C-alpha cells in the first residue's frame, strides 16, 4: 500500500476502506509521510468528501492513535463544550470556570488558531508562565482538585489529530465536514468526557458559512458522538460579526477576566448571552439543572457574583500562570507597542461587519499564523468600538488596532474596512442561535 495510491483514489472520488484509513493514520503518527503527501490527501478529502462510514472509521482510527483518559475516579458527569471556530470566540475562557463553579467537572482539550479564527491555547499562553502541556496524570489530578482543566493534546492523546490539525490550518483544508468532525470528536473522546455541547458556527466568519452546511456538520457530529455513547447537543450559532469586543489573545483574556469579575465591557452582550445559553446545556447534562433554561439562569447568577473569577484564578495558578492577571490584567499581560484608531469614513449605521475580514485583519497584525512556522504576537489584536446596528459619525472610531510591527498595518486596515458596510437604515439582526440539534 502506498500513500500515492490513496491520494489518487480519493482524487478520483473513491472510498477508503478501514485498512487504508488505518495505514494512513499510522504513517502520519510515525512521521513516515512527508507533509506534501499528507497535504495532498487532505485536499483530496476536502474536495471529494468522505462517506459516513469513512468518517466513522477515521474518527475511530484517530482516537485509537493514542490512549483515552479514564475519568471514572471523578464523581459526576464530565461535560465539555467545543466551538467549531469563530472570531472573538473566547467563550471557553469564561464558560469553563463558571460551569466548574456550579459543581460540574469540565475536562477541556483545546486547540490553537486555525486560519482566521483564534485558538484557546494561544489565548491562555499570553498569560506569563501559563502551561498548556499537561500529561495525563496532571490533567486528571487538576480536574479532580478544582473541577476544570484546559490543556492541549499530549503526544499520547489523539496524536494523529495533532499533526493533521496543524497541516489543515495552512493548506486551506479546514472547511471539511469529515475532517472537522473527526478532529473535534477524537480529542473529546480521548479526553474522557461523558457529554459534549457543540457550538457550530455559521456565517461570514465561520468555516461553514452556509447555514445548511452548518446544520449538516452539527448533525454529523451529534450522530458520531451518539455512536460513541456520549450525550450530545449541537447549537448552530451566528458568526456573521465577531463575538464580543476583543479579537486577539491578550485582549480576549482581559475581556474574559472583566466578564468573570461580574462587570460588562461595552459590546459584549452577544458574548454573554451565548455563554449563558451554552452553560445552561452543560449544567443540564451535568445534572446541576432540571433543564437548559434553569441552567442558563444559574450560569448568569454565578457570573454576576464574580465566583467564576475565583475559579479562573485557581485554574491559572495550577497551570503555572501568574494569578496576578486576575487583579491587574493590563500590568501582567503583554502590551502592544502601538495602537491606532480606525475611523469611520462615513456617517450612518453600521449595517454589517464581516467577521472573516476582521479575523484576517487581526491575523495580519500578528494575532494569528500565516504559515506553520509563524509566531503569534500575543499583544496584537483589535478592540471593537462599534457593533452592527450602532450609529456612526464620520471620523468616529469603529475599532482600535494593537500591534508591535507596522509591516502589515496598511493591509490589515484595508482588509478590516473592506468588510464594513455603513448604511442609512438599521439592519435586521439575525438570531444568535439558529437551531438546536439533539
Q: From CA 242, how far away is CA 287, in angstroms rounded?
A: 32
Active site residue 82: yes
The one catalytic residue among 168, 230, 231, 369? 168
CB 388 within 8 A of CB 429: yes
- H or E stretch including 197? strand 195-202
CB 174 within 8 A of CB 180: yes
Q: From CA 121, how far away is CA 235, in angstroms rounded?
A: 23
Helix, strand, coil % over all residues of the chain, rounded to 5 = 45, 15, 40
Active site residue 168: yes
- H or E stretch including 247? strand 246-247
**Which class for 246: exposed (0-12), middle (13-18), buried (19 or more C-beta within 10 A)?**
buried
Active site residue 22: no
Q: From CA 2, how far away is CA 7, in angstroms rounded?
A: 9
∠ CA(237), CA(113), CA(299), 5° rounding?
A: 45
- Interior/surface letters 275-287, b for 16+ CB within 10 angstroms, e for the rest: bbbbbbbbbbbbe
The one catalytic residue among 112, 116, 123, 187? 187
CA 199 to chain centre: 9
Q: Could you give the angle at which helices 159-170 and 18-30 cross, rounded to 10 degrees?
A: 80
Active site residue 116: no
The one catalytic residue among 78, 81, 82, 313? 82
Looking at the DSSP bridge assignments, the partners of residue 381 are 402
Q: Beta strand pairing status for 420-423 and 348-353?
A: antiparallel
Spatial CA neighbour of 65 closest among 114, 36, 29 = 29
Q: From CA 232, how far away is CA 45, in angstroms rounded?
A: 26
- H or E stretch including 83? strand 79-83
The one catalytic residue among 38, 183, 344, 357? 183
Q: From CA 139, how far away is CA 135, in angstroms rounded?
A: 6
Active site residue 161: yes
Question: Which residues belong to the active site?
Answer: 82, 161, 168, 183, 187
Amino acid at each position: 500500500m502506498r500513500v500515492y495510491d490513496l491520494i489518487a483514489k480519493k482524487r478520483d472520488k473513491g472510498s477508503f476502506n478501514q485498512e487504508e484509513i488505518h495505514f494512513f493514520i499510522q504513517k502520519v503518527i510515525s512521521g513516515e509521510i512527508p507533509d506534501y503527501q499528507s497535504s495532498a490527501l487532505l485536499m483530496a478529502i476536502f474536495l471529494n468528501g468522505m462517506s459516513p462510514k469513512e468518517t466513522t472509521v477515521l474518527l475511530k482510527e484517530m482516537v485509537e492513535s493514542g490512549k483515552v483518559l479514564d475519568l471514572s475516579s471523578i464523581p459526576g458527569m464530565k461535560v465539555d463544550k467545543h466551538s467549531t471556530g469563530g472570531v472573538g470566540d473566547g467563550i471557553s475562557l469564561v464558560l469553563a470556570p463558571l460551569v466548574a463553579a456550579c459543581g460540574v467537572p469540565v475536562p477541556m482539550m483545546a486547540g490553537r488558531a486555525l486560519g482566521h479564527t483564534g485558538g484557546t491555547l494561544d489565548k491562555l499562553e499570553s498569560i506569563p508562565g501559563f502551561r498548556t502541556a499537561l500529561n495525563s496524570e496532571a490533567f486528571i489530578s487538576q480536574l479532580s482538585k478544582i473541577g476544570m482543566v484546559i490543556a492541549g493534546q499530549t503526544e499520547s492523546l489523539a496524536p494523529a489529530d495533532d499533526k493533521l490539525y496543524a497541516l489543515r490550518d495552512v493548506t486551506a483544508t479546514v472547511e471539511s465536514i469529515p475532517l472537522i468532525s473527526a478532529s473535534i470528536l477524537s480529542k473529546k473522546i480521548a479526553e474522557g468526557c461523558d457529554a459534549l455541547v457543540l457550538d457550530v458556527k455559521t456565517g461570514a466568519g465561520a468555516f461553514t458559512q452556509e447555514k445548511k452546511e452548518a446544520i449538516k456538520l452539527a448533525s454529523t457530529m451529534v450522530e458520531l458522538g451518539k455512536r460513541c455513547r456520549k450525550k450530545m447537543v449541537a447549537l448552530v450559532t451566528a458568526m456573521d460579526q465577531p463575538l464580543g469586543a476583543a479579537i486577539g489573545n491578550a485582549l480576549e483574556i482581559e475581556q474574559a477576566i472583566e466578564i468573570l469579575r461580574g462587570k460588562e465591557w461595552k459590546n459584549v452582550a452577544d458574548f454573554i448571552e451565548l455563554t449563558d445559553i451554552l452553560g445552561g446545556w452543560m449544567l443540564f447534562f451535568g445534572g446541576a439543572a432540571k433543564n437548559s433554561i434553569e441552567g442558563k439562569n444559574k450560569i448568569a447568577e454565578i457570573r454576576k457574583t464574580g465566583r467564576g473569577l475565583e475559579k479562573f484564578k485557581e485554574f491559572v495558578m495550577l497551570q503555572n500562570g501568574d494569578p496576578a492577571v486576575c487583579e491587574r490584567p493590563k500590568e501582567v499581560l503583554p502590551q502592544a507597542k502601538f495602537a491606532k484608531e480606525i475611523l469611520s469614513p462615513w456617517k450612518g449605521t453600521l449595517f454589517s461587519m464581516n467577521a472573516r475580514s476582521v479575523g484576517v485583519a487581526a491575523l495580519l497584525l500578528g494575532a494569528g499564523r500565516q504559515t506553520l512556522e509563524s509566531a503569534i504576537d500575543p499583544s496584537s489584536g483589535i478592540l471593537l468600538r462599534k457593533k452592527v446596528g450602532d450609529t456612526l459619525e464620520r471620523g468616529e472610531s469603529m475599532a482600535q488596532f494593537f500591534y508591535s510591527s507596522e509591516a502589515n498595518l496598511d493591509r490589515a486596515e484595508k482588509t478590516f474596512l473592506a468588510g464594513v458596510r455603513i448604511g442609512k437604515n438599521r439592519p435586521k439582526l439575525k438570531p444568535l442561535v439558529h437551531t438546536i440539534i439533539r
